[in-house]
Chain A
Amino acid sequence: MDKHRRKFLKIAGASVVAGIGAPAIIKLTATPALASGQGVAAAGHEAAPAAEHGGQGGHGEEAPQGVRLGMVIDLRKFNERPELLDAAIATCIAVHNIPEFPNSKDEVKWIWKAPFSGVFPEHSSQHSAKKITGNPAVSLCNHCDEPPCVRACPTQATFRNSANGIVAMDYHRCIGCRFCMAACPYGSRSFNWYDPRPYIKKYNKDFPSRMKGVVEKCNFCSERLALGQEPACVEACQGTGAITFGDLNDPNSGVRRLLDKEFSIQRKPSIGSKPSVFYIV
């Protein structure tokens, strides 16, 4: 009996050591072989992912697919004509039944004005031109390619529409947990702390309001795009070139032509959320 137990414990111990140690040993011995490029199999293995990247080269991004709607905002135009921005904001409020709460802490924001240093904290420098940093910047949902809010949402109430890249909200699903507000690096989401209806000045009969306890944000005017119209803020600035709207994945679109021509920046690029709203400053 004793003898059997000794034998069993020995085998069990050896198995545990082998089980834990084997993967590490395989990894240690396998890596140098791959690194030195020995054998055709190893080289073929390396080449495969590069081909999948659609010829972008290096360890670049995947080739963009489908439509990714985006916006180029020319802050120079807004600085010249501040009333343009007010018109854009007013149109958005009217079109989307946005409540205007008296307390700024309760503010519901789709497109709004913010200090330049707040919108571009990573781009503010010590001695920047007053005409740029002294004027308010336009802020709205960036409809990121890698939206942090979507990752945070526990109910998939907010999601990225793969057909056009719009980060959409399904208010029917929102449970008001506000994780997305914490996740959004741009403060583009607002919570309805009160029933918004009394604070809506005029109703647009073709768009719903929201209710107390849901989060809301810019939807890139999905409902207007479906009717073949441009987003309301774009339409409000029509003819001035202050806001250009289009498909970022189409090299011939207006937004891409503008981005090819001018120097543009995105908000908080270091986060890696890949905003679809670009700014010319």
Chain B
Amino acid sequence: MYNKGTIIPGLIIFVLFVTFPIWFNGLTTAGDLPKPELPPGGEKKCVESADYMRASHMQLLNKWRDNVLRDGNREILEIDGKKYPKGLQTACMNCHSQKEKFCDSCHTYAAVEPYCWDCHLTPKETASKEAIH
């Protein structure tokens, strides 16, 4: 083989480079499945099953948004005696009070950047400027 000294190291570098995502995720924690932290208050029940929420919480939020803002349907959901006024801030964040440890854990992993938080306030943010209500 001609130019053995150049081709073989070149091939090794090429293979290492192409497989970078595989061995990098294997060696570091970047590829580990996210573990969203459950509500600190110990709530076990949500408005829907965990499976449904995991897969379709965004559709549910959109539905609530349209119910509340466009259809004027602000009916307060009551599930097992607990009241959930439809809304990210009024229902979800009451239990899932740590957006950074719950929402972000999966969103960062999946590289999605929902724009909810452009307007909606996280409990951490509201705490930074204490409200009067």
CB pair B65 A172 closer than 8 Å: yes
CB pair B89 A206 closer than 8 Å: yes
Q: Nearest-CB distance from A231 to chain B (Å)?
A: 15
Query: Using a CB-CB cutoff of 8 Å, which residues 32-74 of chain B contact chain A?
Result: 65, 69-70, 72, 74
Given the interface pairs A172-B65, A204-B131, A206-B89, the reply to whether A164 lies near B120 with Cβ below 8 Å is: no
Q: What are 24 A-B contacts with C-beta separation under 8 Å?
A: A94-B132, A97-B121, A163-B72, A164-B72, A170-B69, A171-B119, A172-B65, A201-B129, A202-B129, A202-B132, A203-B126, A203-B128, A204-B126, A204-B131, A205-B126, A205-B131, A206-B133, A208-B119, A208-B120, A208-B121, A209-B119, A210-B119, A222-B72, A227-B85
CB pair B118 A202 closer than 8 Å: no
Q: For chain B, which range describes its interface: under 10, 10 to 19, 20 to 34, or 35 or more residues?
A: 20 to 34
Q: Which 5 A-B pairs have the closest CB atoms?
A: A226-B74, A205-B126, A211-B118, A203-B126, A208-B119
A214 to B121, CA, bound (A): 16
Chain A residues with CB below 8 A from B119, complex form: 171, 208-211
A171 to B69, CA, bound (A): 9
A168 to B66, CA, bound (A): 12
Nearest A residue to B75, CB-CB: A226
Give the A-B contact count at a CB cut-off of 8 A.
62
A209 to B88, CA, bound (A): 13
B130 at interface, CB cutoff 8 A: yes
A200 to B130, CA, bound (A): 11
A207 to B126, CA, bound (A): 10
Chain A residues with CB below 8 A from B128, complex form: 203
Most chain A CB atoms below 10 A, which of B74, B89, B119, B125: B119
A159 at interface, CB cutoff 8 A: yes
